[in-house]
Chains A and B, each alone.
Chain A
Amino acid sequence: MLPLSYAFRNLLRDPVGLLQKVLGSALVVLLVLAAASFNGGMNELLRSSGSPGNLIFLGAGSEESLERSEVPAEAEELIAAGVPGIAAGEGGPAVSGEIHYNGLLALPDGTAAQGLTRGVTPAALRVHRQVRLVEGEWPAGGEVLVGRLAHHVLGVPAEELAVGRTVLLEDEPFRVAGRLAGEGTVVESELWFPRDDLARLLQRDTLSGVVARLEDPSAMNRARADLFTKQRLDLALAVLSEADYYAELARFYGPIRGMTWLTAVLVGLGAVFGGLNLLYASIASRMQELATLQTLGFRRGVLLFSLLQESVLTQAIGLLLALGAAALLFHGLWIEFSTGTFRMALSPGAVGLGVATALLLGTVGTLPPALRCLRLPLPVALRSG
């Protein structure tokens, strides 16, 4: 067996080559880390947003989007009275008729952006159990609650949406009455208005949907809710669990996530082929040395193992570089998209994927050039170079 120090020394024989290999490897791993962090963050946000105990009643045919859905205002009361198994909260049943609207938000200084808004009544807190008021109070008319990440939507510091400040929706001013936290759900990027205010502003007399919390989220209770929508065909409702709704949304964003992976793979492939070229050249230049070691009695398997050690060490340096760059460039970065705001994070899963990529590059990437060199007959290999 060749000592590990042999592999170490060989790494430093060609510092430029080493640098090229390390940078190539770091680039590939960095891209994998970026794609994994992006997709992990988005998936986590949408997964956390759907509570399996909550049902969403939407307009039939608009099951994929609450913003496009319309249900009659009386549906809220009819659902509360007609769907068995709904939980009872303080002040009434856990049923919340809501208006969801993607509108133009602005600050008095002119900063503006599209953002998700929700028209709610206090019943919303009986349904969305993960949401809590962390500052201020429930909004009266002309006031609004802001999610603790809503400032990312407008691209301003959090102080701009502090309690007492003003935010405009479709040019109408609202005073910030409080701040919401929602345990990593989409709610944290939303602005919650009193439902009557939003209905008046949007000139609509219908709701976007009704969210109800079941006492027991069993299949039978969900089926009873489904039975209600079939018995009340006049309301033109469809029902699905909140978890399924957000799972469907996650599927909708699948192509975007696919694009991030595709980009990572395409750029990574370029780096892999470049790296393979480098490896072929660097191993071929040591053909004579490897043949000499064979004549000294070192078997091919031992030499292959030593080459793999060198490569894995190179990849390990690249991995560390990539992890450092990822931590500096995007770990903790907030990303806004039309449904919410999520944080890119170097999760254990993402780091694991990065390590696996580096290991794969270090082993599988080295095998073709190494085997090509080691397969040559000794006389040919000794005369090469």
Chain B
Amino acid sequence: MQSSPSRFPLLLLFSGLTVGLLTACGSADSSAGGGGGTGGADARAGFLLTDPPADAPGIYEAVRQAAPGDPIVATGRIGGIKEPLSREFAGFVLTDERVAFCDETGDIGCPTPWDGCCEDPRKLAESRFFVFFFGEDGEPLTTNLQRELGLFANQRVLVQGELIGPTSDGPPMVRAEGLHILPEEG
């Protein structure tokens, strides 16, 4: 069967619309991941604690009471810098709740209340720690926790892991084994 030349634009339009609709469906699908993300339940299971400890100190206290290599369980808020969640790696900056974020001090106009810009810089500096998940190869996991777990800046979380450092290579960090998303207080 031959296609008439006059039908060609119509065919082209129809194909374009079909491709467009399929693409739109695809993108809607992938963005709908939210908390689930591409890895879905499996990915969440790898990071979330099944039996989180009932009571844990703030991360500032927990780090001071632990030595390098000690197990650590601590709570805090994701924040302390403008972009606390890594986009490509499974890591985030956790700040002790002794630091008042801007939304807690009444500065409702601050566009990034979680970065601690309203707090004393020295207090902020000693109260924040990088928390990250390693893979079996010893490298940081390349997982976007924002997408996989739905984590967001200013969220309260509990982390369980091991304290690393401080070393000559940098300040203390937490090598995480699991985390638990805490409910908002008050």
A, B assembled together: yes
Residue numbers of A with Cβ under 8 A of B are 60-61, 63, 82, 219-220, 223-224, 226-227, 229-234, 236, 238
Contacting pair B129 A233 (CB below 8 A): yes
Assuming the A-B contacts A61-B117, A227-B140, are A233 and B81 also in contact, with contact meaning beta carbons closer than 8 angstroms in the complex?
Answer: yes
Assuming the A-B contacts A60-B82, A63-B82, A226-B83, are A231 and B170 also in contact, with contact meaning beta carbons closer than 8 angstroms in the complex?
Answer: yes
Contacting pair B91 A227 (CB below 8 A): yes
CB contacts (< 8 Å) of A61 on chain B: these are 82, 115, 117
Bound Cα distance from A220 to B82, whole angstroms: 19
Contacting pair B86 A232 (CB below 8 A): no
Bound Cα distance from A227 to B170, whole angstroms: 13
CB of B139, distance to nearest CB on chain A (Å): 11
CB contacts (< 8 Å) of B173 on chain A: these are 231
In the complex, the 10 A-B pairs of residues with the closest C-beta atoms, listed nearest first: A223-B88, A234-B171, A230-B130, A232-B170, A227-B89, A231-B130, A233-B171, A223-B87, A231-B170, A60-B81
- Interface check B156, CB cutoff 8 A: no
Contacting pair B125 A234 (CB below 8 A): yes
Residue numbers of B with Cβ under 8 A of A are 80-84, 86-89, 91-93, 115, 117, 121, 125, 128-130, 132, 140, 142, 169-171, 173
CB contacts (< 8 Å) of A224 on chain B: these are 88
Contacting pair B89 A233 (CB below 8 A): no
Bound Cα distance from A223 to B85, whole angstroms: 11
CB contacts (< 8 Å) of A230 on chain B: these are 81, 84, 86, 91-93, 130
CB of B8, distance to nearest CB on chain A (Å): 32
Assuming the A-B contacts A60-B81, A63-B82, A227-B140, are A233 and B128 also in contact, with contact meaning beta carbons closer than 8 angstroms in the complex?
Answer: yes
Q: Which residue of A is nearest B117, CB measured?
A: A61
Bound Cα distance from A230 to B88, whole angstroms: 13
CB of A69, distance to nearest CB on chain B (Å): 13
CB contacts (< 8 Å) of A236 on chain B: these are 121, 125
Contacting pair B89 A223 (CB below 8 A): yes
CB contacts (< 8 Å) of B86 on chain A: these are 223, 226-227, 230
Contacting pair A220 B81 (CB below 8 A): no
Bound Cα distance from A233 to B83, whole angstroms: 12
Contacting pair B170 A238 (CB below 8 A): no
CB contacts (< 8 Å) of A60 on chain B: these are 81-82, 115
CB of B135, distance to nearest CB on chain A (Å): 14
CB contacts (< 8 Å) of B128 on chain A: these are 233
Q: Which residue of B is nearest A229, CB measured?
A: B81
Contacting pair B171 A220 (CB below 8 A): no
CB pairs A–B below 8 angstroms (22 shown)? A60-B115, A63-B82, A82-B169, A223-B86, A223-B87, A223-B88, A224-B88, A226-B83, A227-B86, A227-B89, A227-B91, A227-B140, A230-B86, A230-B91, A231-B130, A231-B170, A233-B81, A233-B93, A233-B130, A233-B170, A234-B171, A236-B121
CB contacts (< 8 Å) of A220 on chain B: these are 88, 142
Bound Cα distance from A60 to B117, whole angstroms: 10
Q: Which residue of A is nearest B140, CB measured?
A: A227
Q: Which residue of A is nearest B88, CB measured?
A: A223
Bound Cα distance from A227 to B84, whole angstroms: 10
Contacting pair A234 B170 (CB below 8 A): yes
Bound Cα distance from A123 to B123, whole angstroms: 35
5 further A-B contacts with Cβ under 8 Å, apart from A82-B169, A234-B125, are: A223-B88, A230-B92, A233-B93, A233-B170, A236-B125
CB of B157, distance to nearest CB on chain A (Å): 16
CB of A8, distance to nearest CB on chain B (Å): 40
CB of B51, distance to nearest CB on chain A (Å): 28
CB of B59, distance to nearest CB on chain A (Å): 12
Bound Cα distance from A129 to B86, whole angstroms: 29
Bound Cα distance from A219 to B80, whole angstroms: 23
CB contacts (< 8 Å) of B170 on chain A: these are 231-234
Bound Cα distance from A223 to B91, whole angstroms: 11
Most buried by B among A60, A82, A220, A234: A60
Bound Cα distance from A227 to B140, whole angstroms: 9
CB contacts (< 8 Å) of A219 on chain B: these are 87-88
Bound Cα distance from A231 to B167, whole angstroms: 12
CB contacts (< 8 Å) of B92 on chain A: these are 230
Bound Cα distance from A370 to B181, whole angstroms: 69
CB contacts (< 8 Å) of B117 on chain A: these are 61
CB contacts (< 8 Å) of B80 on chain A: these are 233
CB contacts (< 8 Å) of A226 on chain B: these are 83, 86-88
Bound Cα distance from A61 to B80, whole angstroms: 11
CB contacts (< 8 Å) of A223 on chain B: these are 86-89
CB of A216, distance to nearest CB on chain B (Å): 14
CB contacts (< 8 Å) of B132 on chain A: these are 231
CB contacts (< 8 Å) of A63 on chain B: these are 82
Bound Cα distance from A231 to B88, whole angstroms: 14
CB of A344, distance to nearest CB on chain B (Å): 34
CB of A217, distance to nearest CB on chain B (Å): 14
CB of B109, distance to nearest CB on chain A (Å): 16
